[in-house]
Amino acid sequence: MTPDQLSVVRQRLDVFAADLFTPMVRSDQRVKGETYLRGLLLDGRRKSMQPMADRLGVDHQGLQQFVTTSTWDTTAVRMRLARRAVEVVEPVAWVVDDTGFPKDGKSSPGVARQYSGTLGKVANCQIGVSVHAVTDTASCPLDWRLFLPTSWDDQAVDEADHPEVAARRGRCGIPADERHRPKWSLAIEMLDELADRGLRPPLLAADAGYGDNSQFRTALDQRGIGYIMQVKGDALAYKPDERPVPRVWSGRGRPPTRTEPRYPKTAINLIEHVRAAGREAAETVTWRAGSKGTMSSQFIFLRVRPAGHRVARDADGTLPERWLIAQWPDDQTEPVKYWLSSLPATTDHTDLVRYGKIRWRIEHDYRELKTGLGLDHFEGRSWTGWHRHVTLVTAAHLFITELRLDPKAAAPA
């Protein structure tokens, strides 16, 4: 926003900030919080503290102290933000995703040479895992976690590297109980924390980075959270009518150590299931209106039983039945995308495609959070500072979202 545009909504921003920063017990903290939001919203190439302070005409050390060493409770503000975001967006789904933050050097918490889907390559970066409330027309992050590679866990590295890693953790102020955990585990942690505050997803969507992980899918099943997630075509599954049979010992040799029933046939990959159905089984589905017209393609819908030794089974050893959705456009010789879903067998096919495709909205979030609001501009090297910065950027994003959704808001879209 330009200064003039911000002045038009300044009173509304003051009310928004006062509500959001209620958990801050000190008035000076609430003032600095509103000031930081204004700095994020104002036009400018960089949204790190010094450039923002210069544009605002304030002392940058005050902003730095507010983000890095002040005593306010980030979690309390973030939960208030999440509750408000759910009320505003009225999501049809939540989406789990992660994004890369390119970095120079080795001092920022969690930075390492690691693969980032956002960057499309291995690079020196941080990875932030996020949960978003989404519809086809609006979305907002609800929570964040900074991923710690094993190189930042002094309990996971070689003993010789332990002192150096412990020292790096100490300089960044990483809490003792924050250890390397897979990204899907961070996502479950956020879902559990939000559930403790009474917030549960209507359903969960994710890309193959999460959908291919059977532990993640099982954790969602255990929590009663329906999902639709992209997977790779080489994932294995059985036909829905296949059933396990008891293991029988021949009486010769050592008795088998595994006693649960087993499937007599070998599972086949998803692409083979779709090929067996044939292109003639495809349906044309239109799922939303895009900027260049309606979005439609051809899809095949099958019921399968995803396989894997980490997939939770029923008491009789039967694998759960799931939807397999494959996108197979008329102009392609093979399917191009696959999803697995735990939604009911009666779910409308158009809804399945719409929910599977709804993850596109997150790309809009990340683009606006980074290019417009400075999500990846934080230059501090503290664990607390990173989480506070992304929380405040999310607050600025929610404020803009509220302006867009309110037809009476006098602000630019």
pTM: 0.92
> Residue 412: which pLDDT band, with cuts at 50, 70 and 90?
very low
Please, what's the largest Cα pairwise distance for the chain? 86
Q: For 78-110, how does the pLDDT look when each residue is reduced to its tens digit (9 = 90+)?
A: 999 999 999 999 999 999 999 999 998 889 999
- Report which of residues 272 and 263 the model is more confident about: 272
- 321 pLDDT tier (thresholds 50, 70, 90): very high
**pLDDT surpassing 60 at residue 115:** yes
| Per-residue pLDDT tens over the stretch 232-254 | 999 999 999 998 988 777 777 78
* pLDDT recorded at residue 275: 96
Q: What is the 3-state secondary structure (H, E, C) of the chain?
A: CCHHHHHHCHHHHHHHHHHHCCCCCCHHHHHHHHHHHHHHHCCCCCCCHHHHHHHHCCCHHHHHHHHHCCCCCHHHHHHHHHHHHHHHHCCCEEEEEEEEEECCCCCCCCCEEEEECCCCEEEEEEEEEEEEEECCCCEEEEEEEECCCHHHCCCCCCHHHHHHHHHHHHHHCCCCCCCCCCHHHHHHHHHHHHHHCCCCCCCEEECHHHHCCHHHHHHHHHCCCCEEEEECCCCEEECCCCCCECCCCCCCCCCCCCCCCECCCCCEEHHHHHHHHCHHHCEEEEEEEECCEEEEEEEEEEEEEECCCCCCCCCCCCCCCEEEEEECCCCCCCCCEEEEECCCCCCCHHHHHHHHHCCHHHHHHHHHHHHHCCHHHCCCCCHHHHHHHHHHHHHHHHHHHHHHHCCCCCCCC
Residue-level pLDDT at 409: 55
Separation CA 252–CA 134 (nearest Å): 58
Q: With beta carbons less than 8 A apart as the criterion, state whether 285 and 297 touch.
A: yes
Is the confidence at residue 130, as pLDDT, over 50? yes
Mean local confidence (pLDDT), 174-188: 96
Residue 315 has pLDDT above 90, yes or no: no
pLDDT band of 408, cuts 50, 70, 90 = low
Q: Are 369 and 128 in contact (CB under 8 A)?
A: no
Kindly state the tokens that stand for 390: 């992304």
| Side-chain-side CA neighbours of residue 354 (13 Å) | 18
Single-letter residue type at 337: K
Tens of pLDDT, residues 364-390: 888 999 999 999 999 889 999 999 999
Given a cut of 90, whether residue 75 has pLDDT beyond it is: yes
Place of tokens 């789904």: 93
Distance, CA of 51 to CA of 39 (rounded, Å): 9
Structure confidence at residue 286 (pLDDT): 95
Q: Is 41 exposed, middle or buried (0-12, 13-18, 19+ CB in 10 A)?
A: buried
Answer whether residue 411 shows pLDDT above 50: no
Amino acid found at 94: W
Asked if residue 126 has pLDDT above 50, the reply is yes
Class of residue 38 by CB neighbours under 10 A (exposed 0-12, middle 13-18, buried 19+): buried
Beta carbons within 8 Å of 137's beta carbon, 6+ residues apart: none
Q: Hey, what are 173's tokens? A: 């102020």
> What average pLDDT does range 15-42 have in this prediction?
94
pLDDT at position 406 is: 82
Residue 113 CB burial class (10 angstroms; 0-12, 13-18, ≥19): exposed
Query: In angstroms, how far is CA 306 from the centroid of its own chain?
Result: 23
The mean pLDDT value of the chain amounts to: 92
Would you tell me how many other CB atoms lie within 10 Å of the CB of residue 256?
A: 11
What's the pLDDT score for residue 27?
93
Q: Considering only residues 11 and 292, tell me which one the structure prediction assigns the higher pLDDT.
A: 11
Residues 6+ apart with CB under 8 A from 80: 19, 20, 22, 23
Position 407 scores a pLDDT of 60
In whole angstroms, give the CA distance from residue 179 to residue 110.
10
Angstrom distance (rounded) from CA 213 to CA 311:
9
- Percent of the chain predicted with pLDDT > 70: 98
